[in-house]
Structure 1
Amino acid sequence: MIFLTGTGGTAEWANRETGWSELARREGFALAVPEALPPDPTKPPSFLANPQRWNDASEANNKPQTTEDSDAESSSNSDAPFAPRSLALPNDVRFLTAVMDDAIIRLRTDVRNIFVTGFSNGAGMTFRLAAEAANRVAAIAPVAGYCWVRDPRPARPVPTLYTVGARDLLLPLRGGDVRLPWRNRLVRRPPITDTLERWARAIGCAEAPVLQQDDQTVRVDRYPGPVVFDAVTVEDLGHHWPGGGTQLNPRVAGPPSNAVNATEMIWAFFKSVMNTGAGAAPL
């Protein structure tokens, strides 16, 4: 299983925040937590000054929009922190498929049982990886992120579990202006439904979901189709890993919540995909 951190995240952060390492030891699966490159790889990573970040297609697919900030770079939809214009964006799809190849050789694992989850920018990269390398991924579980690929066309339907908080200050459910911690920039964000409907079309599911659960704490919507695509909305959750270590400042991200343990929930989803044989196609 591969976990992708958000902007500025590290493997150490992921270990403290999510509990994936502990669960991997308990359940006996291999866990990879690769780290992204910072905008300027010639300098040390820094959360505010040079944060590590996946190339999730947000920079390429977002044009500047008008906000209160007159700087064109600052008024983009993307939360990419001021990448130097002279540097080419990394090919992270190629990098992550190389990580998979290395795991297959080292662990003699089945290519049909490689799963990917990610948080925030890592969720965006999870969508992009599934869109461009669907036959390498059995299922995905993006948490609190957008699909920035404008017209995703995965080679096969990829089972998907999406999770987001209803009180996320950085990914507002209905969209709107968001203040980011990098240079105090204001960006305009689309509604979460844009991502869900676009991904539903991409994997052959209905764009109109069917309610599965709503207990005023957690809502589950299902997009009917050839594979499972569920969207989980946690009512009192901000921009945090659900049930995690709450390392992001609530003033910036919104409130934490333990109503859902995303690590346990996602692993149960991945196991269900393995048990039904709905994983990735052989190479």
Structure 2
Amino acid sequence: MRLLCITALLLCALPALARAQATPATCSLTPVNGEIRELTSGGRKRIYRLFVPANAAGQARLPLVFDLHGTGGNTTGRAKETGFEALAAREGFAVATLQAEDSRWNVPVFTPRADDVQYVSDVIDDIAARSCIDPARVYATGFSGGGRMSSLLGCRLNDRIAAIAPVGGLRWFGPCSGRAVPVLTVHGLADFTNAYEGHGDRGAEWVESVPEALAGWAAHNRCQQKLVQDKQAGPLQTLRYAGCERDAEVKLLRIDGMGHVWPRTEVDATAVIWQFFKAHPLR
């Protein structure tokens, strides 16, 4: 009888022990200062740049922000452009700056080219295997072609990506399955590369207008149908859909007179995007 009781207690304790081992309260994190790492994804050699702040050691699991360069860009230039790594050093999150094959993301998807959605998923796994990353706080942002790619991730990988923030490149690739995805986008009315009005001569690369893409995400997130514009002085205007499922808000920062650039003057896009991400863990 005593043996049976001991056995029963051990069986009850095993699941709790396994959970404790699988999800430690804190982690021993090694700082990584913009290191280039390699992995194989879909049979192809890929690289990415990783930054883990020096003050992360001993902290709980860190959020992870994916930063995607525009067409023709690279990891080093992108890291300098946004300053996400400097912000991460102050705020305590990790940054993965990804590299597209031939500096061009496979979006819209063309089958013979690299599967970039799988690449992002594989990078999450690669980082999580060596660093303590919070799987509920993985985010994606990007500029231009990287904005289109982060839009695709919100549609195709929303079980792993908590929120997206495309800049100068919001797209709607619906219908999308899965959960409601918080969306913040920034776009200039004087952007002549990815025109705010859409419907230019770019083929499948740039189709719908920014308001149409925003409306697609709002419908996916089951927001209220009315687009609300906050009354603001100056070139920066905020447009948003309210009442979205699981607080998955859909918001546009529209900047009059701004071209195809990463915003710094009218709004610090890097800081604003991080504040948006902080408010939206995976639900």
CA distance in 2 between partners of 1:280 and 1:127 (Å): 16
The one of the two structures with greater contact order (alpha-carbon pairs below 8 A, sep at least 6) is 1
The alignment partner of 1:241 has SS state of: coil
Contact 1:172 1:189 in 2 (8 A): no
CA distance in 1 between partners of 2:252 and 2:199 (Å): 20
Equivalence for 2:178: 155
CA root-mean-square deviation: 2.1
For structure 2, list consecutive stretches of 5 or more residues without a partner in the other structure: 1-64
Equivalence for 1:65: none
Shift of 1:188: 7.3
Equivalence for 1:22: 86
Q: Percent identity?
A: 33
Aligned: 1:198 with 2:216: yes
CA distance in 2 between partners of 1:140 and 1:188 (Å): 18
**Residue of structure 1 aligned with 2:236, choices 218, 225, 235:** 218
Query: 1:11-160 maps to which residues of 2 (within 5 A)?
Result: 11-38=75-102, 52-57=103-108, 88-147=112-171, 149=173, 151-160=174-183
Distance 1:130 1:175, change over 3 A: closer
TM-score (ref. length: structure 1): 0.71
The alignment partner of 2:279 has SS state of: helix
Aligned: 1:236 with 2:257: yes
For structure 1, list consecutive stretches of 5 or more residues without a partner in the other structure: 39-51, 61-86, 244-257, 274-278
Shift of 1:154: 3.6
Letter in 2 for 1:265: V
CA distance in 1 between partners of 2:170 and 2:183 (Å): 13
TM-score (ref. length: structure 2): 0.71
What are the Cα deviations for residues 217-268 of structure 1, in whole angstroms up to 9, with x where unaligned?
A: 111011121221111101121100001xxxxxxxxxxxxxx11110011011
Equivalence for 1:262: 269
Contact 1:171 1:192 in 2 (8 A): no
Contact 1:171 1:189 in 2 (8 A): no
Letter in 2 for 1:160: V
What are the Cα deviations for residues 24-68 of structure 1, in whole angstroms up to 9, with x where unaligned?
A: 112221100010001xxxxxxxxxxxxx111122x65xxxxxxxx
What are the Cα deviations for residues 75-102 of structure 1, in whole angstroms up to 9, with x where unaligned?
A: xxxxxxxxxxxx8121111110111112
Distance 1:190 1:219, change over 3 A: same
Equivalence for 1:6: 70
Shift of 1:148: 5.2
Structure with a larger share of its residues in strand = 2
